[in-house]
Amino acid sequence: ELGKDYTVTREADAKIDDSKWVNDNKPGGGRIDLLVKDDKNIIVIENKIKSDINTKKSDKGGTTQLNRYVNYVEWLIDHSEGKKPKSYFLILTPKYNTPEIGGDMKKVYKIVTYYDLYNFLKKNISVFEDDSNFVDFYNAMFRHTHNNVNDYLYYDMMEKFVMRINEATK
């Protein structure tokens, strides 16, 4: 559970400014889609709607995008004061584009589908429904809850068709 004093950063720079870490083949780098932090938690959320996970070994040390984010969070924890925060790594994805995660990262990252998130929020909507940003996010998320893109397009077409019939019969 997040405390009242938390930050959410979009496209957070995951650069490690510590030569010891980089020289030990623990480089950071890249941009984390969403980084949520408070004094007890660090949460990394990678949003993968249409893009795939960068599994290509792109660094001299042979690390991937996901490895670099884990290294960065380990570095943040190592440099935090007081009680060390817990870390959580999530990949948010539609059901129609669920990525394969290989190697050690399979044990670190948890895949959460938009379908799962949407249903969780739907069950708990009374907590969020007064926030206009939530309502917009919730409604926009619906299109990514389907098994494939064509299912959503079919649903959208049928909804518009019924709306036009209702307008015509008024």
pTM higher than 0.85: no
Matching residue, tokens 């007081």:
82
pLDDT of residue 36: 92
β-bridge pairing 31-37 and 7-13? antiparallel
Q: Write the DSSP symbol of residue 38.
A: -
Q: Quick check: 48 and 91 in contact, CB under 8 A?
A: yes
The CA angle 158-161-163, to the nearest 5 degrees, is: 110
Structure confidence by residue, pLDDT tens digits, 106-152: 899 999 998 999 999 889 888 887 877 888 888 888 878 877 767 76
Listing DSSP states for 37-67 in one string gives E-SSEEEEEEE-SSS----S--STT---HHH
